[in-house]
Structure 1
Amino acid sequence: MTKAHSNGIGRPPIGRWFLIQGVVLVIVGLAFLLKSPIACYSAFLGGFIFIVPHGYFAFKAFRYSGARAAKKIMSSFYQGEAGKLILCAILFTMAFKWIQPLDVAALFLTFAVMLVTNLVAPFLANGRTQRN
């Protein structure tokens, strides 16, 4: 039995999720280097715009645990989600305003790849711990 099974619900393996996302970002970013250096840094920027707000969300959402902290957990989730959306908007605005030249397709494609990776990472990270 894993710790999560023996003591109730445990915290998700966020570190593994971010490691998987980081590896995917490096692979995608370096793949865009084949197109151009501008596409490469634009891709890394798209990944950065994804990872930073999601890191904020993870910090806010998973800092409390246990049934006694249910109200704090819900409040933290809402705060984390609101902060994530605001950070995404600010970072996209900054990128479009201050980063020139910018390969918009590479930026958005990498952001989209990171969205898909975010959906898949929990299954990849948990796959090893759930097998007996």
Structure 2
Amino acid sequence: MNAPFKSDLAKTGRKFAFKQIIITTVLVLLGTITTYFYWGLSQAQSVLAGGVVVIIPNIVFALKAFRYAGARSSEKVMESFYSGEKLKIVLTAILFALAFKFLAIMPIPFFISFCLVVVLPLLTPFFIKL
């Protein structure tokens, strides 16, 4: 039961997390396409970059956090969530720095996209059924 990726609870958590990530990715791509047609390429690239800065750390968090589940491995569950969250924060900071250093970012579309994608996981449980 303590083996990673074997618990049904962990599988359920990973499945839900990846459904959220897929929905988020689709919405970011739709937002990018819409932005491209209304405001142009540079704003669309900024929207895409703002979404990617959130999506990649969320994928890493989901892989790290949902390794264990159940009462017997409660310490491992907490440890994997804490280490996943730390890794997510560090990766987000690194992606922010890389985006601003190497991409021609328009700040307003970038931060609007970033903020919307950060809030989106709070809304998706109303639309996703397990």
**TM-score relative to the length of structure 1:** 0.83
Match of 1:91 in 2: 95
Contact residue 17 and residue 62 of structure 2 kept, 8 A: yes
Counting only pairs closer than 5 Å after superposition, residues 1-132 of structure 1 correspond to structure 2 as 9=9, 11-12=12-13, 13-33=16-36, 34-100=38-104, 102-126=105-129, 129=130
Shift of 1:15: 2.4
Query: What secondary structure sits across from 1:67 in the alignment?
Result: coil
Runs of 4+ in 1 over 6 A off after TM superposition: none
SS of the residue 2:73 aligns to: helix
Number of matched pairs: 120
Q: Which segments of 5 or more consecutive residues in structure 1 lack a partner in the other structure?
A: 1-6
Q: CA RMSD in A?
A: 1.7
| Alpha-carbon shift at residue 97 of structure 1 (Å) | 0.8
Distance 1:99 1:27 in 2: 21
User: What is the percent sequence identity of the aligned residues?
Assistant: 33
Partners of 1:115 and 1:14 in 2: how far apart? Answer: 14
Deviations 1:2-50 (A, max 9, x none): xxxxx98562322211121112111211121111101101111110000
Structure 2 unaligned runs (5+)? 1-6
Inter-partner Cα distance in structure 2 for 1:27 and 1:73: 35
